[in-house]
């Protein structure tokens, strides 16, 4: 047994709360001069580039990563939103710098994620055909072992305005393990026998298949505003339940509107770290966290 493996086994034996604090302390120790935008007992948000956060988290620290990277689609085109034609531009962060530079960008953050994951840790990447094939190739280039590709079907997807293509009604999710020889977490029974009322394609007490029918975010998930690529809570709750256990540490390098963090809080008994370069979306995330805390207190008082 080498030193790295020994230290990993020792850390696994420590209480989950202490393990989470150890990871956060590596990021926020005084010499690093990093202050979180928001922190609670189980969650922390950093208003900074994910590469900076990942470089300080340390190797073999994270149980699961969910990444929804920029699709590089802000090209002055148009799309349909709530029955109206709107510009597709989302911000500078979503502008393509050309194939080579976009590929370098994805390669850099994927490599950084691999270093921070535990050997049995897994990563989920969401994307459309504009980016997902680059990410799939780069996962393999960086030594990940792809476990599944999930087709997230959107039954309420926006119509196609040009009428020159098939209407885009799905996104692809890639699920990959850091170390091919390690045993990753997959909560098979919960996926087979759990209740998923939002998914009209999932039959009760049957194996969860790789096509998921989940509507886009509900109005209640956009109470405080929304992110242009916001994912539905039902999607993230399913992913977290499927691929993490109690005490697991989850990281989202592109926190956005905080859906991964909110889903982590809803599932419970897990820890969340988010990185987001836009302070406005950090603030949106905080508002969503505070709403969850308030609803939890009300529920406990009623109970």
- For every residue of 195-225, DSSP letters joined together read --TT-TTPPTTS---SEEE-PSPPGGGGTT-
Q: How many other CB atoms are found less than 10 A from the CB of residue 205? A: 7
Count of alpha carbons within 13 angstroms of residue 59, beta-carbon side: 8
pLDDT tens, position by position, for the chain (303 residues)?
A: 555 555 565 556 568 889 999 999 989 887 667 899 999 999 999 999 999 999 999 999 999 999 999 988 866 555 555 555 555 556 777 788 899 999 999 999 999 999 999 999 999 999 999 999 999 999 999 999 999 999 999 999 988 888 899 999 999 999 999 999 999 999 999 999 999 999 999 999 999 999 999 999 999 999 999 999 999 999 999 999 999 999 999 999 999 999 999 999 999 999 999 999 999 999 999 999 999 988 876 555 565
Residue-level pLDDT at 175:
99
Residue closest to 250 by CA, chosen among 43, 11, 22: 43
Residue-level pLDDT at 30:
73
Element (H, E) at 81: strand 78-81
Q: Which domains does the chain have, with CATH numbers?
A: 3-302 (3.40.50.150)
Q: How far is CA 64 from CA 31, 156, 168, in A?
A: 27, 29, 28
**Cβ–Cβ < 8 Å for 62, 50:** no
56: left (phi over 0), alpha (psi -120 to 50) or beta: alpha
Q: Residue 123: helix, strand or coil by DSSP?
A: strand
pTM, rounded to two decimals: 0.90
Query: Exposed/middle/buried for 291, CB within 10 Å: 0-12, 13-18, 19+?
Result: middle
């Amino acid at each position: 047994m080498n030193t790295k493996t020994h230290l990993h086994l020792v850390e696994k034996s420590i209480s989950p709360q202490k393990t989470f604090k150890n990871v956060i302390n590596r990021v926020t120790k005084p010499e690093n001069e990093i202050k979180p935008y928001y922190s609670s007992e189980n969650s922390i948000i950093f208003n900074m580039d994910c590469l900076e956060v990942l470089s300080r988290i340390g190797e073999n620290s994270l149980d699961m990563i969910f990444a929804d990277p920029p699709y590089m689609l802000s090209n002055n085109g148009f799309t349909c939103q709530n029955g109206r034609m709107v510009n597709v531009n989302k911000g500078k962060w979503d502008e393509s710098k050309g194939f080579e530079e976009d590929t370098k960008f994805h390669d850099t953050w994927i490599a950084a994620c691999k270093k921070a994951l535990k050997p049995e840790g897994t990563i989920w990447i969401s994307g459309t055909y504009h980016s997902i094939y680059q990410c799939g190739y780069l996962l393999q280039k960086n030594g990940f072992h792809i476990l599944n590709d999930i087709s997230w079907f959107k039954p309420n997807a926006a119509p196609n305005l040009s009428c020159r293509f098939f209407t885009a009604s799905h996104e692809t999710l890639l699920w990959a393990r850091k170390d091919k020889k390690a045993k990753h977490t997959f909560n098979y029974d919960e996926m087979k026998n759990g209740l998923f009322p939002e998914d009209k394609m999932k039959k009760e007490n049957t194996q969860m298949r790789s096509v998921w029918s989940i509507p886009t975010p509900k109005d209640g998930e956009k109470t405080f505003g929304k992110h242009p690529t916001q994912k539905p809570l039902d999607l993230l709750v399913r992913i977290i339940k499927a691929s993490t256990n109690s005490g697991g540490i989850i990281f989202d390098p592109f926190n956005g509107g905080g859906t991964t963090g909110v889903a982590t809080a809803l599932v419970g008994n897990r820890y969340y770290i988010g990185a987001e370069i836009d302070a406005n979306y950090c603030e949106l995330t905080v508002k969503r966290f505070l709403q969850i805390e308030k609803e939890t207190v009300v529920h406990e008082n009623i109970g």
